[in-house]
Amino acid sequence: MFFGKKEYRNPWSWVPSLYFAEGIPYVVVMTVSVILYKRLGLSNTEIALYTSWLYLPWVIKPLWSPFVDIFRTKRWWIVIMQLIVGAGLAGVAFTIPASNFVQYTLAFFWLLAFSSATHDIAADGFYMIGLSEHDQTFFVGIRSTFYRIAMIVGQGILIIIAGYFETTTGLQPVDLTLHSKPNTEIVNNPAPSELTFKRNALQQSLYINSVSTNISTNKNNKFALDSALQYVQKWNFDHGFYGKNAEPHKIQPLSESDKTVEVGNFALLYISLNQSPEEGTEQVVTLDRESGDKSFNLLEGTRFVFNSSNWDKPALALVQIDHRLRTVSSALFQARSGDIPKAWSYTFFLITALFLGFFLYHKFILPYPQSDKPVLAGGSAKSIFQEFFKTFALFFTKEKIWLVITFLLIYRFGEAQLVKLASPFLLDPRSAGGLELTTGQVGFVYGTVGIIGLTLGGLLGGFVAAKDGLKKWLWWMFMAINIPHVLYIYLAYAQPDHFIIINACVFGEQFGYGFGFTAYMLYMIYVSQGTHKTAHFAITTGFMALSMMIPGMISGWIQEQIGYQLFFVWILLTMIPGFFIVRMLNIDPEFGKKKKE
């Protein structure tokens, strides 16, 4: 019978799904939470601080790992933890719309973090007792692949789904087509207070309009363009259209000499509602070029927040045409609206359903190995705890343990800061130093293209290390995990609007990280060798999580003090201490190489 209690099942029926289920809650807690809080309006400092603390369960999981052995079976722990993870996800979904959502969602994220870390302990233990030694070797690559797939789904597909809900949970989208007209007079843009907008309709709706849909191709001057840009930014900020946590833009002094510098002509777009949103709710409106000539560039105004206090004012956007455009052309701009909390609640309900499916599937499909028994069945709890503390003591008496711990803590010091601010950087408006991508675009760039680069880099790192050993490639892997940070420096200073360039830079940085992280994992295995290698490896994973937690906590504050440009320069410079530590390591040249029979 397929659902009967079997001691053995084909590993293909449970290993891929088990490690896919292991990866989803981790990526939800570590990455999806960052984008969620960014979209809900928290500052970078708050996001980095709150979400970095969520690393703690993975830091201290060695402290309670013996309990998974002592009480119940590993199979029981896996199934129960998947049920608790599902409950935690549902808790996040229900509390996102609450007025004090930060406290509630963080509480459920903590539940997710602890249950996910416990699930990791049980799953890794079950893998070793549920498979023969040969199958363990064969499926080690399979389990890693499906864990990576979970990363792609979490950072990519789930974010894309959230982005879709963000633009489809509100009012009907509206279109505006702009046309370029050669040799026509430049029309001045009136102030919003001079315009009349439709009001008191029976049903709430969204409007987008311009004084004239025809934009002259005659060149304007840079002084006029900068004046209009500053006016738009100030208007939107003063009326709350950038959100309650937005910071005022730094106003650059205008130069009279710019009146002689010719630039492409521009026009203002006015986005408005005809009725107030319900008290305490927000209507988030996004504006983008939907199709047509890319010579029409949206300089300012891609996301606006309407509420009961500003709904009767129009939000402003600024469109410029390329100065080289001389012919009749057109572009279609579309405004979409959505309820951000509702969109993310829907997304988390979907993840909840997914995990309840994992719970039901694994409850019936996981095998019942004879060796999967609680340790209490064969010994006293006292003796188990005595051995546990002895194991810890032996780890900290290893040769040059201070050097080992220092390496584990600083090898990824720069990457630990970058990973917390990469998504906010991609989402932030260009005026704040970001790249102003949509939620869906971030899901594709960082969660799909980035993960593919990470996976390919990891595969290459494993191949070369297995061929030549860790010692030969350690230095090059250290450089690979740090030097590609210059790609983010380029993105911060150049702020390219070409989507392919952004994808290429993120791919390159993540490829380097995947390649360089191979050395970190192999060194953890190297220092864990000995009688208690399983327990000692669990201790190194605690230091690995700590190495991400501490830098991540301060990264948001650093970025807000110095801006994105200098922040990425700072990240590159943090590789200097690691340079000296790596040179001090003493590693067996044969470690990692394939042994001859």
pLDDT in tens, 276-311: 887 777 788 888 888 888 788 888 888 888 888 888
Tens-place pLDDT, residues 216-261: 989 888 898 988 998 999 999 988 888 766 667 666 777 777 788 8
Compute the distance between CA of residue 351 and CA of residue 358 in angstroms, rounded to an integer. 11
For residue 429, the model assigns a pLDDT of: 78
What proportion of the chain, given as a percentage, has pLDDT over 90? 18
Give the model's pLDDT for residue 593: 61
CATH label of the domain that carries residue 597? 1.20.1250.20
Is 290 in contact with 176 (CB distance < 8 Å)? no
**CA separation for the pair 112, 84 (Å, rounded):** 8
Given a cut of 90, is residue 517 above it in pLDDT? no
CB 288 within 8 Å of CB 175: no
Element (H, E) at 299: strand 296-300
Asked if residue 439 and residue 334 are part of one domain, the reply reads no
If asked whether residues 451 and 545 sit together in one domain, one would say yes
Residues 77 and 95 in one domain: yes
The backbone torsions φ and ψ at residue 214, rounded to the nearest 5 degrees and listed phi first, read -100, 125
Q: Please, are residues 15 and 127 in contact by the beta-carbon 8 Å criterion? A: yes
Closest to 290 in 3D by CA, of 445, 174, 431, 182: 174
Is residue 592's pLDDT more than 70? no
pLDDT, average across residues 449-476: 82
pTM score, two decimals?
0.62
Closest CA to 303 of 320, 319, 318, 288: 288
- Bridge pairing between strands 214-216 and 174-181: parallel
CA distance 518 to 189: 57
Do 389 and 536 have their domain in common? yes
Verify that 186 and 327 share a domain, yes or no.
yes
Domain tally for the chain?
3
Residues 399, 537: one domain?
Answer: yes
Query: For residues 27 and 5, what is the distance between their CA atoms, to the nearest angstrom?
Result: 32
- Going from the C-alpha of 400 to that of each of 6, 40, 527, 582, the distances in angstroms are 47, 46, 10, 13
Q: Same domain, yes or no, for 361 and 412?
A: no
| Residue-level pLDDT at 202 | 53
Residues 325 and 369 in one domain: no
Pick from 407, 380, 425, 549: nearest CA to 481:
407
Contacts of residue 274, Cβ cutoff 8 Å, sequence gap at least 6: 197, 198, 199, 200, 201, 204, 205, 207
CA-closest candidate to residue 485, choices 577, 581, 569, 582: 569
More confident: 560 or 381: 560
Pair 428, 540 in one domain: yes
Cα dist. 105→39, 101, 102, 282, 545 in Å? 14, 6, 5, 19, 22
Range of the domain at 184: 174-338
Average pLDDT, the chain: 82
Would you say residue 539 has pLDDT above 50?
A: yes
Note the residue count of the chain: 597
Same domain? For 294 and 416 the reply is no
Residue 544 confidence (pLDDT) above 70: yes
More confident residue, 47 or 478: 478
Residue 513 host element (H or E): helix 499-527
Sign of the CA dihedral with 141 first, then 143, 146, and 151 last? negative
Which residues, including other chains, have CB under 8 Å from residue 54's CB and lie 6 or more apart? 29, 30, 33, 109, 110, 113
Of the two residues 5 and 312, the one the predictor is more confident about is: 312
> What confidence tens digit (pLDDT) does each residue in 132-144 have?
655 655 565 567 6
What's the mean pLDDT in 394-399? 81
Residues 438 and 522 in one domain: yes
How many C-beta neighbours within 10 Å does residue 401 have? 12
What is d(CA 458, CA 327) in angstroms, rounded to the nearest whole number? 50
Question: Bigger pLDDT: 93 or 251?
Answer: 93
CA distance 112 to 559: 28
The lowest-confidence range among 132-146, 315-329, 412-426, 583-597 is 132-146
For residues 452 and 586, state if they share a domain: yes
Contact in structure between 75 and 129 (CB atoms under 8 Å): no
